[in-house]
Amino acid sequence: MNSFSNLFKKFIDYLEQPISGSSLAVFRICFALVAIALVIEYYHGHWIDTLQSTVHFPFLDGIVPETGVGLHVHLALVAVCAVFIGIGFKYRIASALFFLSYSYIFLSEKSLYQNHLYLICLLSFLFVFIGGNNWLSVDNRAGKLSPFVHRWNLLLLRFQFVIIYLFSGLAKFNGDWLHGNPQSSWLAQRVADPMWGPLLGGIFKEHWFLMLITYGGIIVDLSLPFLLCYKKTFKVGAILALLFNAMNLILFPIDVFPFLMVASIGLFAPAHWPEKYIARFKKAESSSSDASPASDATQLPKTKRIIFASIGAYAAFQLLFPLRHFLYPGDPSWTEQGQRFAWRMMLRDKRSMGFKMIFVDQYRNISGEVHPETNLDQRQMDDLRVIPDMILQYAHYVATDVQSQMGSRPAVRAQARVSLNGRPTQDLIERHVDLAATEQTMAPASWIIPLESAATSSKLQR
């Protein structure tokens, strides 16, 4: 017991070692730039039109985005908070406000879900607790803050990015990805891209390039955490991460995600690297150690136990929640159960081959076809046709709407014909099930029809 206690104490002492806060500050600035670019993307990418739709698909009941001027003010608040985070002004308050205001927008609409948007929510949450403003910030313009932080501040952010790489790599060990689906169809689409098609279209068609994307993606995802964390291989990992994310930027429409991943490389370098390069620029000597001198350790108060307990709970959540798809039957790329919030990226290409929804009022002997295109935008329509939980949500909306007009709640049924990663088309959900009477829960959905066949197209089998 004593040996365990001593080992635990050494671990806590390691976490509390003072290190330079300069690399955290650089990442803080990069995060702010990415967050500002993301707000711009809501307008440039017409995501704001989706938020202005009359019907929404929230992750939590009651979370509905503002409309009109209110939505613009909300996005402006997110941008202002990002600016304050970047310059380090009222940093923790700005981080908390950013987390709350942006998470509200993020959780209000499933059709806008992307893994990197989830990541931005998580990072802004972590910023509330770590000392990202201890260096190069307005908050520290008078030098009242120590330029050092506890080591756990940096390790917590490293952990978050290691989780992304590892789970993304492990998720690719499935039959579709290993047989070239859906990446082969996406590469075919990039051949027609007006920017990259003329330059790289010939390469995109090559079998060896498909193999590089398929197996190289797994190798890079699983090796980068180790290459970046080990000092002797950091430079190799940094170069590989740069090339990998540059290729992702060219091949896949994933917005700001590659820039955020590139910014994270600096978190794995020695913590004082920004000071080192500034010192070189000024032709002055810089410290060769990550840690502050021993006398500086007294400047940092001990971390409260509640903080360490919270870190442990957060780490456990990040390790376990992405694994919840094992609790559900079937392929999560088909059922979508356990698909989100799990870093399962670029694994599915679902295409609607027919969608129809009807309502039936048995008491009044009234029935009719539902036309969701009348109150949904195109992005919502595309997801509605192929994502079961969104079909269920919309069915509940239809039943409530009809009930408000006719006085009784109708049954709502849907027919969704879907192809996953080149497979033959099949029904996604049971046609006879009354979706309006089906409860929206996290339990396995028995009304989703199991995936029947393997993908038929495989350009790796030659």
- Model confidence at 460: pLDDT above 70: no
- The percent of residues above 90 in pLDDT, for the chain, comes to 74
H-helix or E-strand spanning residue 297: none
In the prediction, which pLDDT does 455 show? 55
pLDDT band for position 299 (cuts 50, 70, 90): low
Give the orientation angle of helix 115-127 with respect to helix 257-268, to 10 degrees: 40
Instruction: Assess whether pLDDT exceeds 90 at residue 144.
Output: no
**For 386-427, what is each residue's pLDDT tens digit?**
999 999 999 999 999 999 988 889 999 999 999 999 999 999
Mean pLDDT throughout 105-133?
96
Q: How many CA atoms lie within 13 A of 451 on its CB side?
A: 21
Residue 437: which pLDDT band, with cuts at 50, 70 and 90? very high
Give the pLDDT confidence score for residue 142 in this predicted structure: 80
The pLDDT value given to residue 277:
85
Q: Decide if pLDDT at 24 tops 70.
A: yes
Sheet with 411-420: strands ordered across: 366-370, 350-361, 411-420, 426-427
Residues in the chain: 462
Give the residue with greater pLDDT, 173 vs 462: 173
pLDDT of 13 reads 87
| Better-scored residue on pLDDT, 185 or 430 | 430
Mean pLDDT (the chain, rounded): 90
Higher pLDDT, 77 or 303: 77
pLDDT for the residue 461: 37
Q: Tens digit of pLDDT for each residue in 384-396?
A: 999 999 999 999 9
Is a pLDDT exceeding 60 seen at residue 294?
no
The H helix count followed by the E strand count for the chain is 18, 6
Comparing 296 with 357, the larger pLDDT belongs to 357
